[in-house]
Amino acid sequence: MKRNWENLVLKAMGGRDFRLTVLDTESINGHYQRLLLDDGGLLAACRTHPTMWIRLWFDNDGRVHQRAYTLVDPDPVTRRFTLEFAVHDGCAARWATTARIGDTIDATVQGSAFTLPDPTPGHLYLVGDAASLPAINSLLDASADIPATVWLEYAHEGEKALTMRAHAHHDVTWVQRRDDGRHLVDTVCAALPADTTAHYWVASEAASTRSITRHLRRSIGVGKHQLTSLAYWQAS
């Protein structure tokens, strides 16, 4: 599959390409497809970090299509990690649900970066959904001793079948997606406290992420150094 101008730009910005190989595939309640992959040398070449993501290149009826996915349980020793794909109408989901052991796919590492704050936050406030749950899990794993409050938006009950890495000192609230995400925004904004020792991490649908981020900055007065905010997807 011939790459497009996007790949040329990423290469010019220091992007590194790898070929991944499918080692196992599993359906999660028919709503998600979980693939175990050989990393093709990716984990040895690139520093792993919480919320690490890669770009995958798909064939979309003869045209190149790029999508980003968060690594689940990356293991540099075994050179393996897992990716989780939402099952819906799209070339990425079609590839994931039809992939077989031995199939390969190209990946690019460029743009993924996150470091846990120093000094260590006194509390984590995390807002996301099924798309950003792998990233949230990686944050909870990397900061297992830090109390955390988590809000997760879900569109259907099947999304709750995804693994949640919560411990006793992690307070998790599932929030049903209603009113185009307004329910999540209202629920989170009403509950978020001002905490100068905390770190706030917001990664959900684009409009919801913007609204919650605006509330944190303007209404609560959270500083830039306390906030990580990024849109994981955009409602059509």
Q: What is the largest CA-CA distance in the chain?
A: 51
Interval 32-42: pLDDT, tens: 999 999 999 99
* pLDDT attached to residue 23: 98
pLDDT at 49 over 90: yes
Report the share of the chain in percent with pLDDT over 90. Answer: 70
CATH 2.40.30.10 placement within the chain: 12-109
Least confident of 80-84, 168-172, 198-202: 168-172
Supply the pTM of this predicted model.
0.88
Residue 1 has pLDDT above 80, yes or no: no
Alpha carbons 230 and 210: distance in angstroms, whole number: 8
Position 167 confidence tier, pLDDT thresholds 50, 70, 90: confident
Q: What does the pLDDT read at residue 113?
A: 81
Q: Where do the CATH 3.40.50.80 domains begin and end in the chain?
A: 123-229
How far is it, in rounded angstroms, from Cα 84 to Cα 158?
A: 14
For domain 12-109, the CATH superfamily is: Translation factors (2.40.30.10)
> What's the confidence (pLDDT) of residue 160?
84
Instruction: Label residue 161 by pLDDT band (50, 70, 90).
Output: confident
- 137 neighbors 160 (Cβ within 8 angstroms): no
Q: Specify whether domain 123-229 bears CATH 3.20.20.10.
A: no
Q: What is the DSSP string of the chain?
A: ----HHHHHHHHTT-EEEEEEEEEEEEETTTEEEEEEE-TTHHHHS---TT-EEEEEEEETTEEEEEEEE-EEEETTTTEEEEEEE-SSSHHHHHHHH--TT-EEEEEE-S------SSPPSEEEEEEETTTHHHHHHHHHHTTTS-EEEEEEESSGGGGGS-----TTEEEEEEE--GGGHHHHHHHHHHPPP-TTEEEEE-SBHHHHHHHHHIIIIII---GGGEEE---B---
Would you say residue 14 has pLDDT above 90? no
